[in-house]
Amino acid sequence: MVNGLSRDTPLGEGAGNPPKRISLDVLIRDYVVRYIVDRELQAGDALPSEAQLAEVLGVGRSSIREAVKKLQSLGIVEIRHGTGLFVRERNFDPLREIVGFVIRFNPSALEELGEVRFLLECAAIEEVVPRIGEKDIWRLEDILRSWSRIIRDGMAWDSHDNEFHRALYSPLGNDMLTMLLEEFWAAFEQLDDPLLHELRPAAEVYEDHKCILDAVIARDPALARLQLMKHFEHLKKCIVRMQKTDPARAE
């Protein structure tokens, strides 16, 4: 029994609906999720051990272990070997896996994913311009100064690109937006097609971002959006070339 529910508990009976059965695995996962929500646990907070869960729920350790592994794959809990079970920080790991799979096999998904990212960022930057403060601008300027130095030194600059975009949207205070955009970036990075990762001169990419920041500092939402779209033109062209050279994607 789990909270008074048996291994196969019928739902919807008596309401004109055919009975549905809930597996033990689902019941255990629901219990753990409710435990986290009801106690308002935060990332890093400890959860009952597998042994404690098995005792409280009256089920076998193997059933608990199977449910916990699925919760881990969903990014809800973290298993620290030798320490225990903990609430994980918010993440979109399952979304990354799904999106990564879909864009590999769906001919139109890559272009559609790009459009989603472009639309989100273009809408976001127009919201950023009136909200951004001096400290936010200083942070972006610091990123660009560091970026300029590593370009001169011939070092990798990809992390500065991502850091700039995270800092740019931070005034919105929307962690979900930042996480979602990062998953889009990660999904593109998963593709190993050289056409998608055709490098532009580092100085050009840097200049794109400087122009974006200049428009933000000028408090011009329309110009900031325009500069952002110019920055995305290269990626759009790469996606088009991929589709033209790959018959499966061009269909």
Task: Average pLDDT across each block of 10 residues of the chain; the chain has 251 residues. List them in order.
Answer: 41 46 85 93 92 92 92 90 88 73 72 86 95 97 96 86 93 88 75 60 92 97 96 83 61 50
In a domain, 144, yes or no: yes
- At 216, which amino acid appears? V
What values do phi and psi take at 228, rounded to 5? -65, -45
In a domain, 175, yes or no: yes
Count: domains in the chain: 2
Which of the listed residues 55, 87, 119 is the one where a domain comes to its end?
87
Q: What is the CATH number of the domain that holds 29?
A: 1.10.10.10
pTM: 0.68
Q: What is the CATH number of the domain that holds 181?
A: 1.20.120.530
Q: How far apart are CA 187 and CA 146, in angstroms?
A: 26
Q: Which domain holds residue 184?
A: 93-250
Cβ neighbourhood burial of 83 (10 Å; 0-12, 13-18, 19+): exposed
Residue 75 and residue 47 share a domain:
yes
Residue 54 and residue 97 share a domain:
no
Beta carbons of 137 and 123 less than 8 angstroms apart: no
Which of the listed residues 36, 63, 87 is the one where a domain comes to its end?
87
Q: How far is CA 130 from CA 177, 216, 219, 225, in A?
A: 18, 9, 7, 13
In a domain, 188, yes or no: yes
Residue 16 and residue 140 share a domain:
no
Residue 23 and residue 124 share a domain:
no
Residue 173 and residue 100 share a domain:
yes
Residue 24 and residue 62 share a domain:
yes
In a domain, 3, yes or no: no
